[in-house]
Amino acid sequence: MANEPPLILVVDDDPDFADFLRSLLDRNGFRASSAGTARAALRALGEGRVDLVITDVVMPDMDGIEFLRSLPPAARGLPVIAITGSPLNAHGTLSRVMHALGATQVLPKPLPNAELLAAIRNALATAPRRVGLNQTT
């Protein structure tokens, strides 16, 4: 549906943080779904239309780097905002790797809601809307 708000997939192994993000997105005019693992997110990407992904970088089943490498061809180019509280990003090394693999932006965790919402709006404004990753029309 052309008039539907963008659908954002939240990928985070912390259910409380995922619930918080879904609520924040819903309150700000987006539709949100979540996946508790990167593998579940990869399955969700194959099941329907997603306009943007917000993913944690450090997860137990698959880290953000492996997740980006595992995106199906139809999902390549999809805007991805990576969030991390990892001390490994202190010198920006993790950010550079994530950007090289296709992340639109890498943000520190925790971050102000306004900063996250601005990053989402910017990423969506510069990316084409998707009709569905599993559809051919």
Q: Which domains does the chain have, with CATH numbers?
A: 7-125 (3.40.50.2300)
Distance between CA atoms of residues 56 and 83, nearest Å: 5
Residue 52 to residues 75, 97, 124: CA-CA distances in angstroms?
10, 19, 7
Q: Is 70 exceeded by the pLDDT of residue 90? A: no
Q: Is 50 exceeded by the pLDDT of residue 137? A: no
- Residue 46's pLDDT band, with cuts at 50, 70 and 90, is confident
Q: Is 50 exceeded by the pLDDT of residue 6? A: yes
pLDDT: which is higher, 118 or 129? 118
Q: Is 90 exceeded by the pLDDT of residue 31? A: yes
- Residue 99's pLDDT band, with cuts at 50, 70 and 90, is confident
> Mutual orientation of helices 113-125 and 15-27 as an angle, nearest 10°?
70
Kindly give, in sequence order, each residue whose CB lies less than 8 Å from that of residue 119, ignoring residues fewer than 6 positions away: 81, 104, 105, 107
Query: Which residue from 66, 61, 128, 132 is spatially nearest to 103, judged by alpha carbons?
Result: 66
pTM of the model: 0.85
